[in-house]
Structure formats: C-alpha cells, structure tokens
Amino acid sequence: MKTVHHEITEYEIPRYIENILTLHHNEAFLHMSMIKQGDRYLFAYDTKGYFNRNERSYSMIEKISLITELLRIRHECEERLILPENFLLEPELIYCKNGKIEENSVRLLYYPDRNRIPFYKKMRMLMIRLTDPINAKEVHLMNQLRESVDKCDYAACKNAANRMIRKEARTSA
C-alpha cells in the first residue's frame, strides 16, 4: 500500500465526518485512516493506483474534464454531509486513477479548510491556477466556465464543460 501522510493541529473535525471518511462512505476522497492525539490529527491516505499530477501537465481537455469531476465530487460530498466548504481544493490534493482524468477517476485527499472558503471561490482559484495564460483558446474556455462557477450555477458549468469536451473531440478526430 502506498501512503501519503498529513498532520493538522488545533482543529476539531466533527465526529460524523471522521466516521464518513474513515469508514470510506464517500468515494470523493481517497481511503484514509485518522488518528487523533490531543488536539492533533494524523492522516494516512491510501494512494495505491492514484497519482497526483503536476498542474501544468494537464491538456486543455483534461483540465475541463477535471472541472466536471470536481463538480461531481462537490455534489457527492453534499449528499454525504461533507460540505465543500469543509475541505481544501488544491492541485496538490487531487489524485487521478492511473494518472488519467476520466469519469469517476478523480479523488481528493481530505484536508480540512480552517477558513471554510465557499466552493465557488475555491473552484475559481483552482481554475485560474490551472489555466495556461499563453493559450488564448484555453483562457477563453476557462473564463466561460468561471462565469458559471461565479454564479454558483454548477449545472450550467458542467453542461458547458461537457459541450466543450465533445466539440474538442470532434475537431481533433
């Protein structure tokens, strides 16, 4: 088993979230174990078969696909009572099965967000970070998606992303 370890102090994770995560009731996150020692948590994540990629290694289509996967994860987390405001959304915490971004292949390392930043702001920051500023087409497409995210219209964002993916698939074929 390949593992990644993290530690956090001076933070209290609600017991129900601990149970959801450690009993693997939310497929949005990598399987993990958690040890609490006083005001300190130790996290160990099972990364077997999942890889974290450098944010600059994604193609434009992979970036758009990643956005659709993160929107799926947001929805799944809300259904499982882990609000997206409760965890960080950073490239370093995103893992993909076999290093590929495909449907249901993305998992996150759960790491609490002490500041409880709203999901749309996290997505916006991530999208800006992922966008290649030299690629005018990518900048244009990501700006279109960010407009929907800024309005918290995640369904419109996902639909637009899926249209973009289909269009790119047709033009590259």
Instruction: Give this prediction's pTM.
Output: 0.92
Q: Give the per-residue pLDDT at 59.
A: 92
Domain hosting residue 139, numbered range: 50-172
Q: Give the per-residue pLDDT at 72.
A: 95
Residue 119 resides in a domain:
yes
Residue 19 resides in a domain:
no
Residue 35 resides in a domain:
no
pLDDT in tens, 157-168: 999 999 999 988
Is the pLDDT at 125 greater than 90? The verdict is yes
Q: How many other C-beta atoms can be found within 10 angstroms of the C-beta atom of residue 13?
A: 16
Q: Which whole number is the average pLDDT over 107-121?
A: 95
Residue 59 resides in a domain:
yes
- 90 band by pLDDT with thresholds 50, 70 and 90: very high
The C-alpha angle with vertex 108 and arms to 36 and 77, in degrees rounded to 5, equals: 85
What is the number of structural domains in the chain? Answer: 1
For the chain, percent helix, then strand, then coil, each to nearest 5? Answer: 50, 20, 35
Is the pLDDT at 173 greater than 80? The verdict is no
Amino acid letter, residue 162:
N
* H helix intervals, 3-153: 15-22, 60-79, 119-130, 136-150
Which one, of 95, 67, 60, 80, lies nearest residue 168 by Cα? 60
Is the pLDDT at 3 greater than 90? The verdict is no
Residue 81 resides in a domain:
yes
Please report how the helices 119-130 and 136-150 are oriented relative to each other, as an axis angle in degrees rounded to 10: 180
Amino acid letter, residue 137:
K
Q: Give the per-residue pLDDT at 116.
A: 95
Give backbone dihedrals phi and psi of 119, rounded to 5 degrees, phi first.
-55, -40
